[in-house]
Amino acid sequence: MSNNKAFTLWLTGLSGAGKTTLAALLVTELRARDVRVEVLDGDEVRTNLSKGLGFSKEDRDTNIRRIGYVCRLLSRNGVVTVSAAISPYSATRDEVRRSVEQDGARFIEVFVKCPIAVLAARDVKGLYKKALAGELQGFTGVSDPYEEPLAPDVVVETDRESVEFSLSKILSALEQRGLILKTDLSKPRKVRSLFSGRSKNHTQRSSTVRVTERGTSATILTKLFLRSRLKRR
């Protein structure tokens, strides 16, 4: 993994905020820097690793602990891990952080922030509308709690920022901590915006993210990623 260091990047936020989109783009960018990386997407984990679990607090915590355990194993063996799951309870996220850090890896918490009103407007399945109308119970952020991080390492606001700018904020934070190598600024590469329903304002930046030459990645787990379905995790 060259001079890069293993770590877990934990994307937390409400359903539809953009976690899966950012995770997919982060994996592409990290592999372009010759970083070994795997992604654990909340929806995919529910289908595979946590099949049969419900949405009680106990089951939600069990799901997050399982994701955290896999992140811990990968990170301590030199593989960068990106988790994209709602992970609504701060105590459980902190528990995962401690377990990862106890094995000598870094844990970077990214709060993918977006207001309920914007999420409802983006929601093609109408789940937020049903939850807000009281027709859907146990929906995180509406009828079930979501505890926002009090001191996240990075905050991205997907209702105000372009996906390129959010991505660059996360990559810059990793560079500043010495977890990944800085990019070769002579080799720009375009990244297509995938957030739906986002507004345009002054926080948007250039549509290029600059990376070094493309490398290879060792696959350790069956890929658990890249479906951007809107569902509770």
- Residue 205, domain member (yes or no): yes
Q: What are phi and psi of 225, to 5 degrees?
A: -155, 170
What does the block give as tokens for 126? 């109408």
Total structural domains within the chain: 1
pTM of the predicted model over 0.75? yes
Over the stretch 123-148, which tens digit does the pLDDT of each residue have?
988 999 999 999 999 999 999 999 99
Q: What is the DSSP letter of 116?
A: H
- Residue 230, domain member (yes or no): no
Catalytic choice (15, 75, 83, 87): 87
Nearest-angstrom CA–CA distance, 199 and 195: 10
- Residue 218, domain member (yes or no): no
Task: Give the pLDDT confidence score for residue 233 in this predicted structure.
Answer: 43
CATH number of the structural domain spanning residue 116: 3.40.50.300
- Residue 180, domain member (yes or no): yes
- Residue 152, domain member (yes or no): yes
Which residue in this structure is represented by tokens 């995180």?
140
- Residue 95, domain member (yes or no): yes
Over the stretch 146-181, which tens digit does the pLDDT of each residue have?
999 999 999 999 999 999 999 999 999 999 999 999
- Residue 219, domain member (yes or no): no
* 207 catalytic per annotation: no
Domain span at 185 = 7-210
Task: Give the pLDDT confidence score for residue 107 in this predicted structure.
Answer: 98
What does the block give as tokens for 116? 């309920």
What does the block give as tokens for 163? 């996906």
User: Can you state the angle between helices 19-32 and 163-176, rounded to 10 degrees?
Assistant: 50
- Residue 232, domain member (yes or no): no
